[in-house]
Structure 1
């Protein structure tokens, strides 16, 4: 019993004195001020709701009590796989695609707004295999608008910033649109 008591006191003494002779094991490193890279891109997103091969399809729609004849009524959720092209022509070269969702989020049709959750992936060129993500409100009826870039992968890892969007073409009957991204 006496041996156990001596051993216990020796352990307590060692534990109590250790911090006095120990050194701090961490090293503080000042953050480096890296210059952020700015990448300017220009492409056209072709969003097609009509025809035999649409790139945006309705996956959910709210039960509306009022008549709404819009192709994208309030509360509608669309899944997208829109081609990204170098021009406005439907035959222009495809450089990637935008995959994700958008939700019609404005009850006032005159202020048509969507919330966009999408990954913009590039399949050719310098940025092949890279993508950036947009999670933002998009007030479609405004001539020029800005959406937030909130991340990315590949050459766009940790991307942040914004994209300017201008509508190049919109068909109010079908909902088809071509958007100019810069």
Structure 2
């Protein structure tokens, strides 16, 4: 009788293992056709204030390479910054705040004359029609090209900008090369559903 119970327990164990193995063997669900809504294009215009100086900076260096300027260099090659920058309607400090840009950027060029950052940022809107929505950018930003506009890519979004793609033209409104403080005009073209 003991061997019969053991055989039954073993048979149940094998059944559970086969069922479990079969249910975990797929890493995907059913593929179904998607019926997307009509694609929309939204154009946004705002200013981002990236302030590194003072008692309440909106961006702070969180790491830097010891060989490329160290702590004395405002934007030395290899420096990594965390940002929580206000987004405003106009370029002034007292302009109406409409959101924030949160993320990170790294100084990605050795030559200060060709100063470039590589950035990831979630540009979130906290008021108005797009309250609770954001666009995500991940791109190279050639900051030294301040005479003209430069372009960064939109790689996604959330809320009303879910599945967003597009681009942002950035123009430097004001920059202090000693402190690294900058006010930037963002003109975004966002394709979304």
Alignment TM-score, normalising by the size of structure 2 = 0.76
SS in 2 for 1:110: helix
Unmatched segments (≥5 aa) in structure 1? 1-25
CA–CA distance in 1 between the matches of 2:167 and 2:118? 15
Further displaced range: 61-70 or 151-160: 61-70
Q: Give the length in aligned residue pairs.
A: 156
Aligned-pair RMSD on alpha carbons? 2.1
CA–CA distance in 2 between the matches of 1:95 and 1:86? 7
Partner of 2:84: 81
Partner of 2:57: 54
Unmatched segments (≥5 aa) in structure 2? 1-29, 188-193
CA–CA distance in 2 between the matches of 1:84 and 1:51? 19
Alignment partner for residue 172 of structure 1, among 169, 174, 177?
177
Partner of 1:23: none
Matched, 1:92 2:95: yes
Runs of 4+ in 1 over 4 A off after TM superposition: 26-29, 31-34, 65-69
CA–CA distance in 1 between the matches of 2:68 and 2:183? 31
Query: Deviations for 1:63-108, whole angstroms, at most 9, x for unmatched residues?
Result: 1166896411100000000000011100001000000000000011
CA–CA distance in 1 between the matches of 2:131 and 2:55? 28
CA–CA distance in 2 between the matches of 1:122 and 1:148? 18
Partner of 1:155: 160
Structure exhibiting the larger radius of gyration computed from Cα positions = 1
CA–CA distance in 2 between the matches of 1:150 and 1:99? 15
Partner of 2:139: 136
Gap change, CA 1:63 and 1:89, over 3 Å in 2: same
CA–CA distance in 1 between the matches of 2:113 and 2:84? 26
SS in 2 for 1:179: strand
How big is the shift at 1:36?
A: 1.5
CA–CA distance in 2 between the matches of 1:41 and 1:181? 8
